[in-house]
Amino acid sequence: MNEQEQIIHTEYSELMQKSYIDYAMSVIVSRALPDVRDGLKPVQRRTLYDMYELGIRYDKPYRKCARIVGDTMGKYHPHGDSSIYGALVVLAQDFKMGQPLVDGHGNFGSIEGDGAAAMRYTEARLHKLTQEAYLADLDKDVVDFVPNFDETEKEPEVLPVKVPNLLLNGAEGIAVGMTTSIPPHNFGEVMDGVIAYMKNPDINTMQMMKYIPGPDFPTGGIIANQDELAAIYSTGVGKIKIRGKVELEKGKNGKDRLVITEIPYTMIGANIGKFLNDVYGLVESKKTNDIVDITNQSSKEGIRIVLELRKGADVENLKNLLYKKTKLEDTFGVNMLAVADGRPETMGIVPMIRHHVNFQYELATRKYQTLLAKELDKKEIQEGLIEACNVIDLIIEILRGSKNVKDAKACLTQGMTDGIKFKSEQSKKDAAKLHFTERQASAILEMRLYRLIGLEIEALMKEHEETLKNIAD
């Protein structure tokens, strides 16, 4: 056996266990679960960041989805185009997202389960909200950037989202051994909840529910078990019962109609067709003989499913039968699981808002530290230029008497006069007193002559005052 070969004896089950745990953690943290700070999964974060980088802003023309998907896959997300396009489509669907983040142009699927057109036909761009509340300040060092999969690009570890996106848009994800399912909420209510938390960080779940009384699904619907919401919101786990909204319309000659205008969130897609079939089934199997006809009159304006009733039908009894035997009442399993500090954690509504607010403090701190550092740099250079304008004749004398830039810089920063020809001894003495900083000296050497015009010097003074004011702020 040669020197290089080493056979390590190990228990097969141990090796499998270790490998599987590594794989599970990778799926949990970098594929399936959203981050508690920005409420996005990696594929969503990368797609939005890529659109921002490509300049597909809300006030610019739409761009082909194939371009966005290809760019995201090549730079940040090497997991196949269908997963990226699937995420992009959902980000644009107003019946899936409480607050769509992408403005889609073309066929992005329908509430009845029709798929979106192929990505070569559809186009997209960012929504104004996404640009201003999800992607602003990326240039101000507010979040950490990490290398992408092949270390040729940098991508943000998390987006600097200014709204609690995890509650606004909810989340769905299946990881290994765990799933997440967070319902969407109303924008205004969630922001009221955040403000209430900031005023009183010790707020409890019941107090928070004065501001956020429950989920707000984009498809509407009524929550049948509101008394259980407090327990769900404090533990982060439970089941919400959602019912469709049914209205009675009086028809001619005593024939009434039941009209369904809102459906449970879980009925999106093929389940609408299934509901219609279930109603047919009830009539066929003689479970009810109150229904004469059923039509689906839904359109872009919204859902409208009409049940024609026979004369003298027992409406309440029929409603209860529909809730019991069809998907008109359904459960939405809640499991508020997100990645917090690098590990999955199930949390209630108040901890989620706490994470969001702490993240906002961190973003604001980093933003203003970056801005302050920039202003301090500006101040240093401006003070150097103002000082240089006062002794400009001496500086010109130093430059004309120097053999090279190095000598001139040494004289400006350290007062070293060796090897520089001066017109008088006085000039040499004055030059020895100079002590500009390294950056001030560079700025002086790069200064253009027009900066010596009276008005330009005044403008420089004004700029300096503005900088001092910014620093104070």
Catalytic residue numbers, as ranges:
121
Distance CA 93, CA 114 (A): 12
8: number of Cβ within 10 Å:
5
Say whether 29 sits in a helix, a strand or coil: helix
155: number of Cβ within 10 Å:
18
Counted residue by residue, the chain has a size of: 473
Distance CA 256, CA 315 (A): 9
* Contacts of the segment 299-303: beta carbons below 8 A, 24+ positions apart: 302/261, 303/111, 303/219, 303/220, 303/260, 303/261, 303/262, 303/263
Measured CA distances, 307 to 223, 258, 304, 326, 328 (Å): 22, 5, 10, 14, 13
Identity of the residue numbered 68? I
The answer to whether 328 touches 321, Cβ cutoff 8 Å, is no
CA 228, 234, 237: angle at the middle one, nearest 5? Answer: 70
Among 199, 247, 246, 238, smallest CA distance to 215 is for 238
The answer to whether 191 touches 99, Cβ cutoff 8 Å, is no
Tokens for 135, please give them.
């992607």
Say whether 63 sits in a helix, a strand or coil: strand
User: Looking at the DSSP assignment, which residues form a beta bridge with residue 238?
Assistant: 334
